[in-house]
Structure 1
Amino acid sequence: MKNIRPQLPTFSEDIRLLVATLPEPLQAALLRLDLDNLLEVVMDLGRPPEARFAGEVVRLAEQPVDHEDLAHVTDLVGEFGSDNRAGIERTLHRISAIRNRKGQIIGLTLRVGRAVLGGIELLRDLIETGQSLLILGRPGVGKTTKLREMARVLADDLHRRVVIVDTSNEIAGDGDIPHPGIGGARRMQVPQVERQHAVMIEAVENHMPEVIIVDEIGTEAEAGAARTIAERGVQLIGTAHGNTLENLIKNPTLCDLVGGVQVVTLGDEEARRRRSTKTVSERRAPPTFDIVVEMIDRDEVLVHPDTAAAVDQLLRGVAPRGERREQAANGQIHVEVREAAPEMLPDTEEERSGYRGPARIYPYALSRELLERVIRSLDLNARTVGGPEQADLILALRSRSDDLRLRRVVEKTGAALHFIKRNTANEMRRLLERAFHVLEGIEGDELHEMVAETEAGIRRALAEGVEVKLAPRRPALRKMQHRLIAGRGLLAESSGKEPKRHLVIRPGGGE
């Protein structure tokens, strides 16, 4: 039979369908710009309309948006669902509405959707295994784009029976005919967001899929449906709310996706062997997803190829490193296998002196969460531990310098003791930079300047809700900036070319 599957439309064809929904003066203004890099158009009642690009915002008109302008757009797009999202038939564009207390639309975000071919080479070997795969990452990093391309590759290249559970029509576009970007995969729409779990079960019971793809697993019911699907032998590929595997473990609603957590009481002998308290947290069940991928950026991921082992290590206070994969501009993929830290601490002083795992740091009467955030932002080969007796390095407030218990621990274990003035991230960062000689070849002044600028930008983005452009930085510093910004729940995008490549902090975003 002749293949009559529709061809993927060109981006210029797709983007003009979005432009055509705008009032004519805005169309004319937008067509004079470089639409290849357009991210979204924002129309808020009483404010001038804007076109947003990576690192730049362009005002499309001086005249404020009025109710007539908003009605013009809403009349030309699809029907808004209960999630206040609509689309344009057979495109991937997304139109999101802001309503007032009476339910009237007072703002629109017209988000540009793109089908990107060849975007999953970093993960292709993983989906070919048939194992279930969970993707985590901050908003706007490209998780939905990855799902769309996975669906196409699984259906067209690997000839699997693929069903997409498309809650907001983000994966396969608006309308009853799915976008060609999903290839031969089938799509099931979800009538109401709260029924996503029911459609997930319906998909596996009624349509005999080999693979089910679902975006944004976010409720306990959806987590339960995911486990049901995986237990029936169907490959499940999905995304979930959370930036990292550690975040997911701490989420009581979604931790079942990676096996769940239970508190158990150890016997005296086992507790001594582990050098832990008698009450510890352990994984409750096998994970729903065999593999977890943390998306750091569109072209950089951290892969945990064995979810069960990674969760077990995290619950023991060990940071599993997994595989860090990065795709260069020329398409070459670099894979760095980073071993996890040893799970057990040495029992003798002789073993202790030969320890070569990550440095073990204990925050004495300080914020452990704050310390862990600083360790991640500096990308140190270090981890926090549950007690001062297990530490190589102890951080404490200077006001605790006369603490007798602290002095006894230091004398007994030989751990290094460092004091800081205040329980703040800046104080911890400065001390750890000195202790670990962070970023060789980068002067301390440059590092402090970067941190100060980034934190000021974060504060402005949070307070004013605006995009903030940062100064150009070398790649190593930009990676640190990404971690600092992501740690505050914001989106950072790279813009420009070397040596002027820089980050732009955005107050929010989606896939």
Structure 2
Amino acid sequence: MEEQDLLEIVLDLGRLPQARYPERCVHLAETAVTRADIEQVVSCVGEFGADNRAGIEGTLHRISALRNRKGHIIGLTLRVGRAVFGTIDQVRDLIESGKSVLLLGRPGVGKTTKLREVARVLADEFNKRVIVIDTSNEIAGDGDIPHPAIGSARRMQVPHPDRQHAVMIEAVENHMPEVIIVDEIGTEAEAIAARTIAERGVQLIGTAHGNTLQNLLLNPTLSDLVGGVQTVTLGDEEARLRGTQKTVSERKAPPTFASVVEIVDREDVIVHRDTASAVDALLRGANPGGVRRTPGGGVSEDEPARQIQTTPPKTVPLIPEQRNMKIYPYALSRDLLERAIRDLGLNARAVSRIEHAGLILALRSRTSDLRLQHVLEVTRLPMQAVRKNTTSQIRRVLKGLFNVVEGVDDAEVNDAVCEVEAAVHRVMEERVSVSLSPRSASIRKIQHRVVSRYHLVAESMGSEPQRHLVVYPAHSRRDVGTEADDLIIH
């Protein structure tokens, strides 16, 4: 490893000093760090602020302190700061558009380095009035004179991290900027300040921690940066038209940032040019899209960025051979769930800890809770919604999940489900309609549910006792009768 690859140096009291590179760590000495070593380093750097960060005047390096309970420094992280040219080539068109752009990425991926070049390019090449909000002197370096890496952009220092939002507003009100650059938006007050700046017509280039747009949307503190989330109750007709539940999540407001860039690594980014469209897709449970851009400004427009599982499946496939299903009730009575399981004689049980569950059964009005959405994202558990917290409603959902049809033999249910699943796969592969064997009304309802899970069209045809289901491709919808078991479910 060469010096140009060095990320940081770590000095911890009583441990060997380390130099950290992207792929490995190297010990710098064979003796442990002493208090005298730490004090010597501290004496050579600037004053530590309330965020336990300091710098070295005239450089971009950042020194962060670890303290004990008495406030004494017992560890230092000396992070190497560099001015690197060409780091915004992949997103230069967004920066030049004059619209606000948010950069996302894990710590150390190069967000701040990109901000420096953004400041220089906009100030020097486009002659714009640029102000950098520098909370820890990390963007423009320590000292009163900004580092040349930001070009002719002006820098406003923040006296305390809690005042970053106030300095952002002060910059707009006092200095007439065309562009404001801010690093690490992390509080609700800063998110509100960012929206205020954007609404005044100032281009805002900012960063926030979070690997993806989806992570940010699930963060209640920062989701306002991309429009926020609100729960909306739809009317019956609207819910039918959308093919959704009556309670859905929608974007609350226009996004503060017109575009979002996910920084995968220093040379690889995913661009969401239209934040509003990407967020709307996420809230519908669809792929938000995004274009992966390669080094040198290359754009892979025809290649999807990646397939993102936005939310786990909202339904559980009808699998008759499920055994010992563990169900976690969310906003539902566990006693009622256990009673319904017992009454139906199901091979299932309610669990009190979500990590033990194989399925989440949630009250429909609470399915948009951010906590629940976060759990679903992390665990990838399937979820079923119950309209009301009553035994009858819970029984109804469980009967559908476990293919419980009173007065019908289990073997017949299994045979009917296997038949319809085979038909569904043939319809999807060959784009032809498939007729099933004659079944009773109760069995046809189960088959309808299977078809609906694949977003295909089903219709009951013929007269009893030869009435049977016909499965059509998704775009071959036909006019049907009005009997309960004849309804198309899609």
TM-score (norm 1): 0.63
Offset, 1:271:
0.3
Aligned to 2:246: 278
Aligned pairs for 1:319-330 (under 5 A) are: 319-327=287-295
After superposition, residues 103-122 of structure 1 pair within 5 angstroms as 103-122=71-90
Match of 1:54 among 4, 22, 37: 22
Residues 1:38 and 1:410: Cα distance change in structure 2 (over 3 Å): farther
**Partner residue, 2:440:** none
2:134 is equivalent to residue 135 of structure 1: no
- Among 184, 206, 210, the alignment partner of 2:152 is 184
Q: Which runs of 5+ in 2 are unaligned?
A: 317-357, 361-372, 387-398, 405-413, 418-442, 454-490
Counterpart CA distance in 2 for 1:215 and 1:333 is 26
Q: Partner residue of 1:404?
A: 403
Deviations for 1:410-431, whole angstroms, at most 9, x for unmatched residues? 62244699xxxxxxxxxxxxxx
Letter aligned with residue 321 of structure 1:
G
Tell me if the contact between 1:321 and 1:338 (Cα under 8 Å) persists in the aligned partners.
no
Contact 1:136-1:294 at 8 Å conserved across structures: yes
Equivalent residue in structure 1 for 2:201, among 211, 233, 246: 233
Q: Distance in 2 between matches of 1:402 and 1:275?
A: 19
Residue in structure 1 matched with residue 224 of structure 2 by the alignment: 256
Quickly say closer, same or farther: Cα 1:126–1:42, change in 2 above 3 A: same
| Deviation of the 1:322 alpha carbon | 2.0
- SS of 1:160's equivalent? coil
Mapped to 2, the partners of 1:332 and 1:218 lie a distance apart of: 29
Q: Matches of 2:80 and 2:314 in 1, distance apart?
A: 46
SS of residue in 2 equivalent to 1:36: helix
Provide the secondary structure at the position in 1 that maps to 2:81.
coil
Cα distance, 1:334 vs. partner? 3.3
1:288 correspondence with 2:256: yes
For 2:270 and 2:39, the matched residues in 1 are separated by 44
Change (3 A) 1:68 1:322: same
Q: Is the 8 A contact 1:136 1:292 kept in 2?
A: yes
Instruction: Work out whether residues 317 and 384 of structure 1, in 8 Å CA contact, stay in contact via their aligned partners in 2.
Output: no
SS in 1 for 2:294: strand
Q: Are positions 1:174 and 2:174 aligned together?
A: no
Q: Distance in 1 between matches of 2:232 and 2:452?
A: 32
Residue 343 of structure 2 corresponds to residue 307 of structure 1: no
Paired residues for 1:432-451 under 5 Å: none
Instruction: Please state how far the C-alpha of 1:232 moved relative to its aligned partner.
Output: 0.6
User: Does residue 198 of structure 2 align to residue 219 of structure 1?
Assistant: no
CA contact (8 A) 1:410 1:416 kept: no
Residue 150 (str. 1) matches residue 149 (str. 2): no
Q: What does residue range 90-109 of structure 1 map to in structure 2 within 5 Å?
A: 90-109=58-77
Structure 1 pair 292/59, CA: closer, same or farther in 2 (3 Å)? same
User: Tell me, what secondary structure is at the counterpart of 1:216?
Assistant: coil
The structure showing larger relative contact order (alpha-carbon pairs under 8 Å, at least 6 residues apart) is 1
For 1:105 and 1:360, the matched residues in 2 are separated by 45
CA distance, structure 2, for counterparts of residue 144 and residue 415 of structure 1: 50
Q: Once structures 1 and 2 are overlaid, which stretch shifts more, 137-146 or 51-60?
A: 51-60
Which amino acid is the alignment partner of residue 242 of structure 1? G
Aligned equivalents of 1:363, 1:50: Cα separation in 2: 50
Work out the CA distance in 2 between the residues paired with 1:123 and 1:402: 47
The match for 1:317 among 262, 282, 285 is 285
Between 142-151 and 238-247, the greater mean CA deviation after superposition: 238-247
Q: CA deviation at 1:131?
A: 0.3
Alignment of structure 1 residues 348-363 onto 2, 5 Å = 361-362=313-314
- For each residue in 1:391-442, what CA deviation from the matched residue of structure 2 results, as whole angstroms up to 9, or x when unmatched? xxxxxxxxx999226967862244699xxxxxxxxxxxxxxxxxxxxxxxxx
For residue 132 of structure 2, give the secondary structure of its aligned residue in structure 1.
strand
Q: Which 10-residue stretch deviates more, 98-107 or 313-322?
A: 313-322
RMSD: 3.2
What is the distance in 2 between the residues matched to 1:270 and 1:332?
Answer: 43
Shift of 1:256: 1.1
Contact 1:320 1:340 in 2 (8 A): no
Q: Which residue of structure 2 lines up, in the alignment, with residue 334 of structure 1?
A: 299
Matching residue within 25, 50, 56 for 1:88? 56
1:298 to 266, 275, 287: 266
Q: For the structure 1 residues 363 and 414, does the alpha-carbon distance in structure 2 shift closer, same or farther, using more than 3 Å as the test?
A: closer
Matches of 1:104 and 1:366, distance apart in 2: 49
Q: Deviations over 1:308-330 (max 9, x none)?
A: 11111111111111211121xxx
1:336 to partner: Cα distance: 2.7
Larger Rg: 2
Tell me, in whole angstroms, the C-alpha distance in 2 between the residues paired with 1:102 and 1:125. 50
Query: What amino acid maps onto 2:448 in structure 1?
Result: K
Identify which of 260, 264, 267 aligns with 2:235.
267
Deviations 1:321-376 (A, max 9, x none): 1211121xxx36232346799xxxxxxxxxxxxxxxx999456354786885699x
Would you say the 8 A contact 1:317–1:386 is kept in 2? no
> Where does residue 79 of structure 1 map in the other structure?
47
Deviations for 1:63-118, whole angstroms, at most 9, x for unmatched residues?
Answer: 11111100000000000000101010011111110000000000011111111011
Show CA shifts across 1:272-307 (max 9, x none).
Answer: 011111111111111111111111111111111111
SS in 2 for 1:217: coil
The CA distance in 1 between the partners of 2:265 and 2:80, in whole Å, is 19
Shift in CA distance, 303/64, structure 1 to aligned 2, threshold 3 Å: same
TM-score scaled to structure 2, two decimals? Answer: 0.66
Deviations 1:133-162 (A, max 9, x none): 011111111111111111111111111110
- 1:183 deviates by 0.7
Shift of the 79–360 alpha-carbon distance from structure 1 to 2, 3 Å rule, reads closer
Counterpart residue number, 1:210 = 178
CA drift at 1:123 = 0.5
Number of residues paired by the alignment? 350
Distance 1:256 1:213 in 2: 18
Give the SS at the match of 2:90.
coil
Whole-Å Cα distance in 2 between the matches of residues 270 and 85 of structure 1?
53
Determine which of 10, 13, 19 is the counterpart of 1:45: 13
1:70 corresponds to 2:106: no
Cα distance in 2 between the residues matched to 1:219 and 1:178: 26
The change in CA–CA distance for 1:227 and 1:416 in structure 2 (over 3 A counts) is: closer
